[in-house]
Amino acid sequence: MPQSAEKILDHATLFREPEYKELFARKRALEGTPCSEEVTKIADWTKSWEYREKNFAREALTINPAKACQPLGAVFVAAGFERTLSFVHGSQGCVAYYRSHLSRHFKEPCSAVSSSMTEDAAVFGGLQNMIDGLANAYALYSPKMIAVSTTCMAEVIGDDLQAFIATSKQKGSVPADFDVPYAHTPAFVGSHTTGYDNMLKGILEHFWKGRTRTPNQTINIIPGFDGYAVANNREIKRILDLMGVEYTFLSDVSDQFDTPSDGEYRMYDGGTTLEAAKAAQDAAATISLQEYCTPKTLEYIAAQGQQVLAVNYPLGVSATDELLEKISALTGKPIPEALEKERGRFVDAIADSQAYLHGKTYAIYGDPDFVYAMARFVLETGGEPKHCLCTNANNAWAEKMQALFDTSPFGVGCKAWAGKDLWHLRSLLATEPVDLLIGNSYGKYLERDVKVPLVRLTFPIFDRHHHHRFPVWGYQGGLRVLVSVLDKIFDKLDNDGSEAGVNDISFDLTR
Ligand code: SF4
């Protein structure tokens, strides 16, 4: 074997050595894998219009959904509160998935515990798991709050969180006055954005129920489930500080998922303080930055007497304008000159690159607010968001997308696909190709398969590092999105002209 202690090969190079190639060939023969000609023939057929029609006729099967399950969103939103430990009532494997999903994206440890339900708890109920689990979590990890959500298993057998938590407190697992908000997050309904909404509403209900509201002039900001939250939250805070607005973030993961390496391990860092979460009931208004992440939470907040507003992921010029105008109207604070200048610079940058942006076609997928915002920005640049796909959206979202397309001549022929998955997107890309694909790391298989360059701009991004450390919101963030798209366009131009003397007519130094 080529591996040796003197020269350790990474798996990427090691498995290309002749010994491994032979081993893989023998494995294929043993498994009776069809010959490569047959594989290519079928793969090509699955890129045809005939197959596309069969693929879109599919009803009872989802292949590669562009979404995750509810508890992931619950764990994410709970991480944005001071010294809060997520406790997921259900099986260990599920919680390992949430932790690893968030760790792989943010390149930070993610702490969450489970009640470790196994076969006996699935039959007889998980009360004892909750009693023991809460006691252990409280004793071992010193949280200030434990936020309880559920996996499929606990929901299928119908465990009652309110009763279980009350019983656990009676049995002394945690002190009677210890904060244990909860939310049922059945994973077979909705997605991670639904789980975000349910858990946030659960936390607010926990703090606000029975408390008398004393209105003041502050505003609450709910960022929503966002893979760029580390930098985006900081960018929104910078903007609010420039405007002189008093605000409270309801769930702020920016420090929790960006702890420094200075010799001290921080299991908890930053987040909305529990006192601030309580006092947020007194705010004049709450703005959700992602409408589709917060329907139940906003309904609950509105019932408290607050004004509620929602935008759809403030990425791009008009989306940032809309947010700033809403904040200004709510608070009476003018938009400062510094932000107007940032806007002007952003518009200038788009104009500088117009020759390369105009008429480019795109496929976009991800969460409903992200896809809406990205399509809106593409239209602003003179591009055409041809295929916009969202697994965790409904027809109302598709209608809103169509209304967006109708606002621009570049929206003609664009279509929103609600409830479809990445295998549907493959058919769209194969039959109606576009210039660029915008989504998350899972799009790399589509990129290889249908040869459409991928721009990674949404959660999860596992195979590239540190994107989340730079904002995509606001005018400054928009610049970064613009550069990411342009880099991909220029890379493609260079790749298409990389053979000297053959096709390098546009292998230009200056563009
Ligand atoms: S879908 Fe259900 S089983 Fe799968 S990770 Fe989510 S909670 Fe666990």
Q: What does 187-227 look like in DSSP terms, one character per residue?
A: TTSS-HHHHHHHHHHHHHHHHHTTPPP---S-EEEE--S-T
Q: In this model, does residue 3 exceed pLDDT 90?
A: no
pLDDT band at 1 (very low <50, low <70, confident <90, very high): low
Q: Is 180 a catalytic residue?
A: no
d(CA 93, CA 99): 10
Q: In this model, does residue 267 exceed pLDDT 90?
A: yes
Angle between helices 317-331 and 368-380 (to 10 degrees): 110
Determine which residue's CA is closest to atom 4 belonging to ligand 1: 94
Instruction: Map residue 86 onto helix, strand or coil.
Output: strand
d(CA 454, CA 445): 10
Provide mean pLDDT across the span 398-407.
Answer: 98
Residue 104, H or E segment:
helix 92-106
Q: What is the mean pLDDT of the chain?
A: 96
Pocket test for ligand 1, best of 151, 184, 392 (most atoms within 8 A of CB): 151
Laid out side by side, the sheet with 219-222 consists of 247-249, 219-222, 285-288, 307-310
Q: Is 483 a catalytic residue?
A: no
Contact 124, 61 (CB under 8 A): no
d(CA 164, CA 128): 9
pLDDT band at 7 (very low <50, low <70, confident <90, very high): confident
Angle between helices 337-352 and 317-331 (to 10 degrees): 170
Instruction: Map residue 485 onto helix, strand or coil.
Output: helix
d(CA 385, CA 222): 27
**Ligand 1 centre distance from Cα of residue 60 (Å):** 19
Long-range contacts of 397-403 (CB under 8 A, 24+ apart): 397/292, 397/368, 397/372, 400/372, 401/371, 401/372, 401/375
Q: Which of 14-28, 126-140, 404-418 has the lowest mean pLDDT?
A: 14-28
| pLDDT for the residue 179 | 98
- Summarised one tens digit per residue, pLDDT across range 214-235 is 999 999 999 999 999 999 999 9
Higher pLDDT pick, 36 / 72: 72
What's the token pair of residue 289?
């930055």
Instruction: Map residue 260 onto helix, strand or coil.
Output: coil
Query: Within a domain: residue 19?
Result: yes
Query: Within a domain: residue 34?
Result: yes
**Ligand 1 centre distance from Cα of residue 69 (Å):** 6
Determine which residue's CA is closest to atom 7 belonging to ligand 1: 151
- Summarised one tens digit per residue, pLDDT across range 96-128 is 999 999 999 999 999 999 999 999 988 889 999
**Ligand 1 centre distance from Cα of residue 85 (Å):** 19
Boundary (domain end) residue, out of 314, 339, 364: 339
Query: Within a domain: residue 475?
Result: no
**Ligand 1 centre distance from Cα of residue 137 (Å):** 21
**CATH number, domain containing residue 243:** 3.40.50.1980
Query: Within a domain: residue 458?
Result: no
Residue tagged active-site, from 75, 148, 152, 230: 152
Query: Within a domain: residue 400?
Result: no
| pLDDT for the residue 153 | 92
Query: Within a domain: residue 335?
Result: yes
Using a 6 Å CB cutoff, which residues line ligand 1?
69, 71, 94, 97, 151-152, 187
Residue 486, H or E segment:
helix 474-496
Q: Which atom of ligand 1 is nearest to the CA of 69?
A: 6
Amino acid at the residue 438: I
Determine which residue's CA is closest to atom 2 belonging to ligand 1: 152
**Ligand 1 centre distance from Cα of residue 145 (Å):** 24
Q: SS in 3 state form for 142-170?
A: CCCEEEEEECHHHHHCCCCHHHHHHHHHH
Percent of the chain with pLDDT strictly greater than 90: 95
| pLDDT for the residue 4 | 86
| pLDDT for the residue 303 | 97
Percent of the chain with pLDDT strictly greater than 70: 100
Pocket test for ligand 1, best of 69, 89, 91, 156 (most atoms within 8 A of CB): 69
Query: Within a domain: residue 153?
Result: no
Higher pLDDT pick, 79 / 119: 79
Pocket test for ligand 1, best of 62, 70, 97 (most atoms within 8 A of CB): 97
Provide mean pLDDT across the span 405-415.
Answer: 98
Q: What is the dihedral of CA 256, 257, 261, 262, to 10 degrees?
A: -10
- Summarised one tens digit per residue, pLDDT across range 304-333 is 999 999 999 999 999 999 999 999 999 999
d(CA 190, CA 70): 7
d(CA 508, CA 511): 7
What's the token pair of residue 384?
């055409």
Domain of 30? 11-56
What's the token pair of residue 169?
């407190």
Provide mean pLDDT across the span 382-392.
Answer: 98
Q: Total domain count for the chain?
A: 2
- Summarised one tens digit per residue, pLDDT across range 14-52 is 999 999 999 999 999 999 999 989 999 999 999 999 999
Provide mean pLDDT across the span 2-9.
Answer: 86
Query: Within a domain: residue 108?
Result: no
| pLDDT for the residue 379 | 98
Q: Tokens 């209105």 sit at which residue?
A: 215
